[in-house]
Amino acid sequence: MNKLRYSLRTDWLFYLLVLGYAYLIANMTLRLWFGGGVNIFASYSQAATAAEMLVDANKVYWSKTCFLFLTLLLYGLKFDYRFVAGFAASFWAISLILMFGPTPVLLLVGALGIALIVQQVIRKTVFSTTGG
């Protein structure tokens, strides 16, 4: 069996973020394919019309796209992946909070992302020391 990249004992914040994200995806997938459909944008938006819902859906899509881009960019710039994950997750959560208001999931992800950033700064491991 392959070992984990990071120690579960010292990097549990990172793995908590991974597990939380896996839960969100699994939950969304099950509801989408086996639960009669799911409108993920409705969990953020209080739009009254289809046109308003489309604008809000674009905002959510923009935030998630920036999350992915930041992950790729920062990792490509040799930042430590735990820092990258925390930074991108924080951006995603905070941007959605600013656009739609706080929810328990967004507050938790934002706090966890910020905690990962702080952890890597304290460890002085913001930049990766391995890899090409």
3-state secondary structure 52-86: HHHHHHHHHHHHHHHHHHHHHHHHHCCECHHHHHH
What is the mean predicted confidence (pLDDT) over 34-43? 71
**Are 85 and 123 spatial neighbours (Cβ–Cβ below 8 Å)?**
no
CA distances from 20 to 15, 35, 108, 109, 112 (A): 8, 20, 10, 9, 10
Q: Give 31's pLDDT tier (boundaries 50, 70, 90).
A: confident
> Over the stretch 53-62, which tens digit does the pLDDT of each residue have?
889 989 999 9
Exposed (0-12), middle (13-18) or buried (19+): which is 115, by Cβ within 10 Å?
A: middle
Q: Answer yes or no: is pLDDT of 122 > 70.
A: yes
b/e per residue, 50-68, with b = 16+ CB within 10 A? eeebeebbebbeebeeebe
Given a contact cutoff of 8 angstroms between Cβ atoms, the answer to whether 104 and 24 are in contact is: no
First-to-last alpha carbon distance for the chain, in angstroms, is 25
pLDDT tens-digit readout, 69-107: 999 999 999 999 999 999 999 999 999 999 999 999 899
Contact partners, residue 80, CB within 8 Å, separation at least 6: 120, 125, 126, 127, 128
